[in-house]
Amino acid sequence: MFRDGYEIGATAVLTGHGDKPTPLGVFPITEKDRDHVSNLYGAPMPYMLRLTNDGVAIHATEVENGYITRGCVGVPHGFAAKLFATAKLGDRVIVTDGKTMGLGDKIV
């Protein structure tokens, strides 16, 4: 995570796989919900930061080897809480595969 060009946080993440990959690109945060529950899967999504209208978000989850998401960016609970407190509606999130990266307010 970057603010004004300076790294202010880093963590391991989970991403989507198979038929539900996490989309790459630049997305504004359009909604914040500390206690969100997925409309599609009924799963808890604490500290949810919505990135797309079709359900892609950053949210807290168990980040362990072998786990995946259904297109979201899953981050550890402690990091999610800090990110949620820092992020504002409209902040840009750049989701990258590590091969390409642009400059922005937040990079995940």
Give 107's pLDDT tier (boundaries 50, 70, 90): very low
User: Quick check: 100 pLDDT over 60?
Assistant: no
**Cβ contact 3:19 at 8 Å:** no
* Straight-line distance from the first to the last Cα atom of the chain, in angstroms, rounded to the nearest whole number: 6
pTM value?
Answer: 0.86
| CATH (domain of 98) | 2.40.440.10
Give percent of the chain with pLDDT exceeding 90: 63
Domain range for 47 is 2-107
Structure tokens at 60: 């807290």
Residue with tokens 């259904």: 70
The DSSP bridge partners found for residue 17 are 20
d(CA 86, CA 97): 23
pLDDT at residue 90, as a whole number: 96
Tell me: the pLDDT tens digits for 13-63? 999 988 999 999 999 999 999 999 998 888 899 999 999 999 999 999 999
Percent of the chain with pLDDT over 70: 92
Q: Indicate whether 104 pLDDT > 70.
A: no
Count up the domains in the chain and report the number: 1
Which residue type, as a one-letter code, is found at position 21? P
Contact present, 13 and 96 (Cβ < 8 Å): no
Q: Distance between CA 17 and CA 2 in Å, rounded?
A: 25
Give me the pLDDT at residue 8, please.
85
| Nearby residues of 77 by Cβ (< 8 Å), 6 or more positions away | 46, 47, 60, 61
